[in-house]
Amino acid sequence: LNVTEEKFVLDTLAGCIEYKSLLDVVVNAFFVRDGRYCLISERHLYIVICYLATFQLEELGLQHFSRIVKSLDTAKMQKFLRFFFNALYLNTWIKDEWSQFYDSLYVKENWIDPLLRWQPKVQQLIEQLTEKLNNHTTTVKTSKVTRPKEFNLTVPKPRAIPIPLPIPVLEKRPPVPPSTYKPPKEKKQLEEIKTKNRRKAEVSSHSYRILALVDSQVTTVSPNYVCNIFISASHLHILFTVFIPMVPDTFTSVSIDNIPIKLNAAAILREGALYQRKVEQELKRIENLLRGARDPSEFLEWQKQMRGKDLEEQLAEIECRRLQGKLSHEEAVLAHQYVIQENKKKANLMREEKAELMHQYAEKRLQEQKEMRELVEQVMEGHKNAKQAQIKLQKYKQQIVQEVCEENRELLRQALEEEEEKLRKRYELIQQIRAIESLPSVRHKFVDLTETGGHGLICEMSIVELRERLALLREAQKAAEEEKRDQIIHGKQAKEQLLLDKLDQISLFRAELGRAAALKQEEKKRKSQSGQRPLKDERILNLQKKIVEKTMERKKQAGLL
């Protein structure tokens, strides 16, 4: 570059750096509003054009400025100049933003007013750029059209007729297995288990007769022998085979299921405790018999008979209550039918009264319509007189509005002056804060990890000592966890062994209780077959007769309705 061009470039660069804050305001707003689709990499281009238009337009002149603008992209320059030389933008937000950095009077006199003077001439430049854009036509280079040539391909040989494929033969399907039409094996297994249990019950019934003789001689058995049998879990079946006929009904009437059920720990312990408690009760009863106590079987038989009688009485009482409820239902239905008849009579009376009231209401409505017509005529006469008063009121309101507008203008001017004063004070305060923040300050502090805080406390320690103590505490905690883990493992093993012992004991108890339950079931069947049906109570017969009479009366009343 020659000296003049070099000086111009350096002056432009220095000016862009000096007035960067002012130029950023305009360029940032351009990218937000009109230049949303412009590239960020072209930002410096718009900054230079904005600087030349604001600060160098007087020195350059419009001719040189136009040459610079036309040498660049037409669409970009047309869009930016139309945005920057908008008189509304210059007088409003551009002026306000620049006044935050410089005095508002200085901004107006030195920058805004010259731009407004140049605005008509620059507008002509913008129109020239717009015409250039409209007349700009893109020239498309015409190229030679390629003409395709045929390929020199070999002529294919004629294809031979394919041999027809053989028709596939379907494979023979396997026959339906015979197990489809047979019952499952599980059903047969269940039947076999039932027959085995029945046979066991028959065998035990024969032993039951023999044990009746042993019951008379049970006093010869020593208590020590009974206690030894209870203590050894492997000989518990001896206790059941010898003394199970003397167990009461509440002990033997347990529903034993042949299907195995998976139990949890709580269920095993609960069932084991139940059987242990029942064995203790039976041993206590045997000890009492050995000491000379009476056999409570006779008392239990008498008690069972009395309970049967009480049950029959309760059933008769329940039947009486049911029949009484049915009788009260029939009476309630009759009463409801009587109420329906009375309601029909009342409804007829209400319809007659309603017709009379509607006739009276129609006469009253006609009278009100006549009065409303007279009132409307009076109101229409009043409207004619009210128009003149409305015109006078409108003139009075216009005067009030003019006075209020003048007062509002004065108040707005005062508010603008106060706002400018506040902005000036705020700008001075910001400058003071920035000057204070620009002062250098020492922010580094060296820490010695081996020293204490120096607060004068007894329990003070350095960070190094604190880390050593934490490491010791972690080691102690790990040792305690290991010890606790070993204790938990030993406890689990002991609990598992206890549960296995309980399961063996429970399986033995269940087998013996199943035999006893089968015996009791057969005895109940024999008693139920030999028993007679109880006679009905007289109260029940009387109530049934009354219900039949009420039903007949209700049907007769329904036919009348």
**Owning domain of residue 110:** 3-136
Q: Say what the pLDDT of residue 486 is.
A: 93
Q: How many CA atoms lie within 13 A of 110 on its CB side?
A: 10
Residue 533 domain flag: no
Which among 28, 27, 126 is positioned nearest to 78, based on CA atoms? 126
**Residue 84, domain member (yes or no):** yes
Residue 289: what residue type?
L
24 belongs to a structural domain: yes
Tell whether the model's pLDDT for residue 541 goes beyond 60: yes
Residue 539 resides in a domain = no
**Sequence letter at residue 295:** D
Evaluate if pTM is beyond 0.75.
Answer: no
- Contact of 111 with 96, CB cutoff 8 Å: no
The torsion defined by the Cα of 377, 378, 379 and 383, in degrees rounded to 10, comes to 100
**Residue 83 lies inside a defined structural domain of this protein:** yes
In a domain, 131, yes or no: yes
Q: How far apart are CA 514 and CA 259, in angstroms?
A: 13
Q: Calculate Rg over the CA atoms of the chain.
A: 58
452: in domain: no
Cα–chain center distance at 389? 67
Q: Which two tokens stand for residue 121?
A: 């001439």
Please indicate, yes or no, if residue 109 is contained in any of the structural domains: yes
pLDDT at 255: 41
At residue 94 the predicted structure's pLDDT band, cuts being 50, 70 and 90, is confident
Over the stretch 290-334, which tens digit does the pLDDT of each residue have?
887 776 777 888 888 898 889 988 888 888 888 888 888 888 888
Confidence class for position 443, pLDDT limits 50, 70, 90: low
* pLDDT at position 501 over 50: yes
> 459 or 483: whose pLDDT is higher?
483
In which band, very low, low, confident or very high, does the pLDDT at 480 lie, cut at 50, 70 and 90? very high
Residue 237 pLDDT greater than 50, yes or no: no
Q: What angle do CA 493, 496, 500 make, to 5 degrees?
A: 140
pLDDT tops 60 at residue 212 = no
| 347-375: pLDDT as tens digits | 888 988 888 888 888 888 888 888 888 88
Question: How many domains does one find in the chain?
Answer: 1
Provide CB contacts within 8 A for 39, sequence distance 6+: none
Q: How many CB atoms lie within 10 A of CB 492?
A: 10
pLDDT at 227 over 60: no
pLDDT above 50: residue 217? no
pLDDT tens-digit map of 110-155:
888 888 888 888 888 888 888 888 886 545 556 778 888 888 888 8
